[in-house]
Amino acid sequence: MLIRYNKAINSALKEEMQKDPTVFIAGEDVANAGGSFGITRGLLDEFGPERVIDTPISESAIVGMAVGASSTGLRPVIEIMFMDFIAVCFDPIINQAAKMRYMSGGQMTLPLVIRTQSGAGVNAGPQHSQSLEALLFHIPGIKVVMPSNPYDAKGLLKASIRDNNPVVFIENKALYGMKGEVPEEDYTIPLGEAKIVKEGKDVTIVALGQMVNKAMAAAQTLENNGISPEIIDPRTISPLDTETIKQSVKKTGRLIIVHEAVKIGGVGAEIAAMVQEEVFDYLDAPIQRVAAPFTPVPYSKPLENYYLPNENDIIQAVNKICVGRQFSIAGHS
C-alpha cells in the first residue's frame, strides 16, 4: 500500500487504539480538529472523547498528565504540536518521566509516547523550526525516535506505543507528504535497530530524519563520481544502534554524520566520539559532520536555505575525506 508519512502515523495510532483499550490520545486540537497537521483525523469519531482528548494549551500539564496516567495503568500518546514547545514542558519530561522508574527503584513503569514535530524548511521562524533531539538524547531514561519514511514511521510508532518506557517520537514536518510502501498487516520495528538504507564500501554516512533522504540524493551523484557510500539511518537515536555504525565504519574506514540540528553539541558529536573510542584503528580519515550552523533557525528564505544542510554539503564532505585519499584501496574487510 502506497501511503504518506502522515497517514502512516495516523494508521499506527488507529490500529494500536483498536488493539489496546488502554491507549489514549491527548493534546491541543487533536480531537475535533484532527490535529494541527491532520495526524489524528478520524480518531475522535472512532474512539470517542474519552480516548481522544482536546486539552487546553498546557504543555506542562499535558506531559505531567501522561506521567500520571502511564504510571497508573494507561498508555497515553500525547502530542506536542511543535518540537519547539517541549521547552515549555521540560520538567515533566526530564525530571519526571525520565527518572520516575529509576528513582522508584524500578517500581514505576511509564509507557507513554510524546509525539512531536520538528524541522526547518517552511519559513516558520526561530520558534517553530527547531530540531532539538540532542537535548533529549542527553537524558537517560527516555527513548528518542526519528523516522525518515512512512514504513519506519508506522512500525516505530507501534513499537513506541507498546514500549514500557517514555518515548519521544519526532516527526519531521518536511516528511508529512512523503509517500512510501507500507504493508497492510501488523508489524513493528524494534527501537534501537538501525537500518542500512544503502550498502556501499567507501564511506559511511549516518543520517538522521529527513537528512536520510538528502543523503540518498547525494549518493546518486557520488556513485556517478565513483564513490560508493553506505547510508545508515539509526531510526532511533536513543537507544543508538552503535554496532551497525561500527561494523560499517570497519568496512569503509570513513564516517560522515548528517543532521539538521546545529552541529555543536549535536547527536553527531556523540557518534563521532563513540566511533573514535571504539574503532579508531579502522579510520582512514577524519570524521566529518554535516549539520546546521550555531544559530537559531532564521525566517527568510535565503537564510533558511543557508542554514539547512543539503545534498551538496554532503557531497562536499564526502569529497573532502575521499578524493585524493586513495579511498578505493582503503578498507579493512
Ligand X SMILES: Cc1ncc(C[n+]2csc(CCOP(=O)(O)OP(=O)(O)O)c2C)c(N)n1
Could you tell me which residues come within 8 angstroms of residue 200 by beta carbon, excluding any fewer than 6 positions away?
219, 228, 229, 230, 231, 252
Cα distances (Å, whole numbers) of residue 261 to 2, 265, 300, 315: 29, 9, 18, 18
Q: Is 264 in the site for other proteins (CB under 8 A)?
A: no
Per annotation, catalytic residue among 16, 28, 128, 133: 128
Per annotation, catalytic residue among 28, 59, 230, 270: 59
Q: Residues 327, 251: contact at Cβ < 8 Å? A: no
Residue identified by cell 507513554 is 112
Single out the segment in contact with ligand X by CB under 6 A; choices: 80-88, 177-185, 189-197, 259-267: 80-88
Residue identified by cell 579508531 is 280
Q: Is 282 in the site for ligand X (CB under 6 A)?
A: no
Q: Is 42 in the site for other proteins (CB under 8 A)?
A: no
Q: Which of 181, 294, 328, 332 binds other proteins (CB under 8 A)?
A: 294
Half-sphere exposure of 237 (CA within 13 A, CB side): 28
**C-alpha of 172 from chain center:** 8
Q: Is 115 in the site for other proteins (CB under 8 A)?
A: no
Single out the segment in contact with other proteins by CB under 8 A; choices: 65-73, 243-251, 291-299, 309-317: 291-299
Q: Which residues of 208-239 are buried (b: 16+ CB within 10 A; e: fewer)?
A: bbbbbbbbbebbeebeeeebbbbbbbbbbbbe
Q: Is 188 in the site for other proteins (CB under 8 A)?
A: no
Binding mask 227-266 for ligand X (x = CB under 6 A): ----------------------------------------
CA distance 218 to 125: 27
Residue 184, burial from CB neighbour count under 10 angstroms (0-12, 13-18, 19+) = exposed
59 is catalytic: yes
Q: Is 122 in the site for other proteins (CB under 8 A)?
A: yes
Residue identified by cell 493534546 is 27
Shortest distance, position 59 Cβ to other proteins, whole Å: 7
Nearer to other proteins, 109 or 123 (CB): 123
Q: Is 163 in the site for ligand X (CB under 6 A)?
A: no
User: Radius of gyration (Cα) for the chain, nearest Å?
Assistant: 20
Single out the segment in contact with other proteins by CB under 8 A; choices: 56-64, 141-149, 235-243, 319-327: 56-64
Shortest distance, position 80 Cβ to ligand X, whole Å: 8
Q: Which of 22, 32, 220, 225 binds other proteins (CB under 8 A)?
A: 32
Q: Is 60 in the site for other proteins (CB under 8 A)?
A: yes
**Which entry of ligand X, other proteins, none binds 265, CB below 5 to 8 A by partner kind?**
none
Which 125-184 positions form the footprint of other proteins (CB under 8 A)?
Answer: 125-128
Q: Which of 15, 20, 55, 88 binds ligand X (CB under 6 A)?
A: 88
CA distance 4 to 212: 17
Best CA proximity match to 173, nearest among 209, 214, 215, 126: 209
Cell of 163: 514500549
Nearer to other proteins, 35 or 76 (CB): 35
Q: Is 81 in the site for ligand X (CB under 6 A)?
A: yes
Shortest distance, position 88 Cβ to ligand X, whole Å: 5
Phi/psi zone of residue 332: left (φ > 0), alpha (ψ -120 to 50 degrees), beta? alpha
**Amino acid letter, residue 273:** A
**Amino acid letter, residue 42:** G
Chain residues in the site for other proteins (CB under 8 A):
28-29, 32-33, 36, 54-61, 84-85, 87-88, 122-128, 293-296, 298-303, 305-307
Chain residues in the site for ligand X (CB under 6 A):
28, 57, 59, 81, 85, 88
**Catalytic positions, please?**
59, 128
